[in-house]
C-alpha cells in the first residue's frame, strides 16, 4: 500500500549538495529520512519498494538539476533504467536512511547516477551501507513531453572515468533493447493451482494513476512504479514460502514507455526460479490509457526481483522448490537459473581480491 504523501513530506529531511551546478562528475545530492512503521512489513523490515522510491527521488533531483544547469529549454529528468540493485543489509523501523546520489557519466541524451543508501541506528550511532544502485535518466522537455533534450556535458577528473562510463552506457543500451524484444509475455489466472506451482503464487495489483503519483509532466514517477512492483513481487514470494520475506536484489528495471496520469496500470508477478535460499520473480507493468487518448494496452516496465525467506530471528530459511508444469515455465526456470549462476560467479570474482587482502 502506498504511503500517504503527507507522511512522506513530514518524515523526510532533504539537503542537496551542489545547488550551484559545476557541471563536473561527482556532483552530489543527499536525502535523509526516518523509517516509520508505515514503511515496513510485519517483521519490522523496511520494504524494498520504499528504499527504491527514495533512491529514485534522489536520482531524479540531481539529474533534473544538472539538465537545467545551462540556459535552454526547461526539462524534467525521467527514469529510463535501473541497473541491478543489491540489498546488502536489511533496514528496520526507527533507523534513519541517508540516500546519497552523484552523477558519474553523461551521454548526449542521458545521465548516469550512482546512489548509495546508508542506515543509522540513532540510539547506538551504528551505521551500515544497505544499498547501491545505478540509474539512467533522460531529460524530457516541459513544452513537449515526447522531446528528449541534450544533456549538458560533465567534466571528468580522469580520462578513464569517461571511457568506463561510455562502456556502461553502451552495455545498458544493448540490454534494454534485448529486454524490450522479449516483452510480449502475459500472465493469466490459473484455476485451482497446486501448491508451489507458478500459478499458485502469481499475483496482480491494479492501480489508477492519480496526480500524486506523477511528475510535473503528468507521468508516473519511476519510484512509485518500482514500489508497486516490489509490493507485488513480495506477495508472490510470501505466497510461495509463507514466511517473512525480504528483497535481496533487483535485476535491471527497464522503463519502456511512459505511464500517463489517468492510466489504469496492472502490475503482475510470477515466480520463475528458485534456488535453495532465494526466489526470482518476474514483474510486468501494463498500462491501459483511458483518459484523453484511449489506446491499446502496452507494456511499460519489466524487471526481475530476488527475495529470500527469513525466520522470526532473521535467519535465512530454505526455499520450497518451484514446481514447473508447462514447457514455457521450464524454459523460464532454466533462464532464471542461468541468471542466478551468472550473478553468483560475478560475486565470487568480486570477493576473491578481498579474501587475498
Catalytic residue set: 41, 230
Q: What one-character-per-residue DSSP string does 42-85 give? A: TTSBBPHHHHHHHHHHHHHHHHHHHHTSSSSS-EEEEEEEE--E
Q: Any idea what DSSP says for residue 89?
A: S
Q: Is residue 143 classed as helix, strand or coil in its secondary structure?
A: coil
Rounded-to-integer distance, Cα 61 and Cα 66, Å: 9
Rounded-to-integer distance, Cα 83 and Cα 169, Å: 11
Rounded-to-integer distance, Cα 62 and Cα 103, Å: 7
With CA atoms as reference, report the closest residue to 256 among 186, 179, 184, 187.
179
Rounded-to-integer distance, Cα 357 and Cα 351, Å: 10
Bridge partners of 268? 204, 284
CB count within 10 Å of CB 49 equals 26
Rounded-to-integer distance, Cα 266 and Cα 130, Å: 29
305 is written with which cell numbers? 526481483
Q: Say if residue 6 is exposed, middle or buried (CB neighbours under 10 Å; 0-12, 13-18, 19+).
A: exposed
According to the 3-state scheme, what is the secondary structure of 268-333? Answer: EEEEEEECCCCEEEEEEEEEECCCCCCCCCEEEEEEEEEEEEECCCCCECCCCCCECCCHHHHHHH
With CA atoms as reference, report the closest residue to 97 among 70, 120, 127, 79.
120
Give alpha helix (H) positions in the chain: 5-11, 48-67, 159-181, 198-201, 222-241, 327-356
With CA atoms as reference, report the closest residue to 272 among 336, 318, 321.
336
With CA atoms as reference, report the closest residue to 13 among 27, 29, 34.
34
Amino acid at each position: 500500500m502506498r504511503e500517504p504523501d503527507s507522511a512522506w513530506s513530514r518524515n523526510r529531511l532533504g539537503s542537496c549538495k551542489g545547488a550551484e551546478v559545476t557541471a563536473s562528475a561527482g556532483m552530489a545530492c543527499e536525502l535523509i529520512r526516518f523509517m516509520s512503521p508505515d514503511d515496513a512489513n510485519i517483521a519490522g523490515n523496511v520494504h524494498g519498494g520504499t528504499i527504491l522510491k527514495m533512491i529514485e527521488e534522489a536520482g531524479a533531483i540531481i539529474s533534473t538539476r544538472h539538465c537545467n544547469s545551462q540556459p535552454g529549454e526547461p526539462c524534467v529528468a525521467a527514469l529510463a533504467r535501473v541497473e541491478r540493485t543489491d540489498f546488502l543489509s536489511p533496514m528496520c523501523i526507527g533507523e534513519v536512511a541517508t540516500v546519497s546520489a552523484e552523477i558519474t557519466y553523461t551521454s548526449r541524451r542521458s545521465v548516469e547516477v550512482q546512489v548509495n543508501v546508508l542506515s543509522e541506528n540513532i540510539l547506538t550511532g551504528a551505521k551500515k551501507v544497505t544499498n547501491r544502485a545505478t540509474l539512467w535518466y533522460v531529460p524530457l522537455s516541459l513544452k513537449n513531453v515526447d522531446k528528449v533534450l541534450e544533456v549538458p556535458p560533465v567534466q571528468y577528473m580522469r580520462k578513464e572515468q569517461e571511457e568506463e562510463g561510455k562502456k556502461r552506457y553502451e552495455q545498458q543500451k544493448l540490454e534494454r533493447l534485448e529486454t524490450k524484444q522479449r516483452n510480449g509475455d502475459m500472465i493469466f489466472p490459473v484455476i485451482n493451482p497446486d501448491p508451489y506451482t507458478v500459478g499458485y503464487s502469481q499475483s496482480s495489483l491494479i492501480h489508477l494513476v492519480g496526480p500524486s503519483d506523477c511528475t510535473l509532466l503528468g507521468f508516473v514517477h519511476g519510484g512509485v512504479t518500482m514500489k508497486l512492483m516490489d509490493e507485488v513481487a513480495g506477495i508472490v514470494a510470501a505466497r510461495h514460502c509463507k514466511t517473512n520475506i525480504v528483497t535481496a536484489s533487483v535485476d535491471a528495471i527497464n522503463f519502456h514507455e511512459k505511464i500517463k496520469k489517468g492510466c489504469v496500470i496492472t502490475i503482475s508477478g510470477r515466480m520463475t526460479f528458485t534456488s535453495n535460499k532465494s526466489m526470482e520473480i518476474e514483474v510486468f507493468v501494463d498500462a491501459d490509457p483511458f483518459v484523453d487518448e484511449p489506446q491499446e494496452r502496452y507494456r511499460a516496465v519489466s524487471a526481475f526481483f530476488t527475495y529470500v525467506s527469513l525466520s522470526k530471528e532473521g535467519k535465512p530459511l530454505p526455499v520450497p522448490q518451484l514446481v514447473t508444469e508447462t514447457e514455457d515455465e521450464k524454459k523460464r526456470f532454466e533462464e532464471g537459473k542461468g541468471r542466478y549462476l551468472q550473478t553468483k560467479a560475478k560475486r565470487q570474482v568480486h570477493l576473491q581480491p578481498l579474501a587475498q587482502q
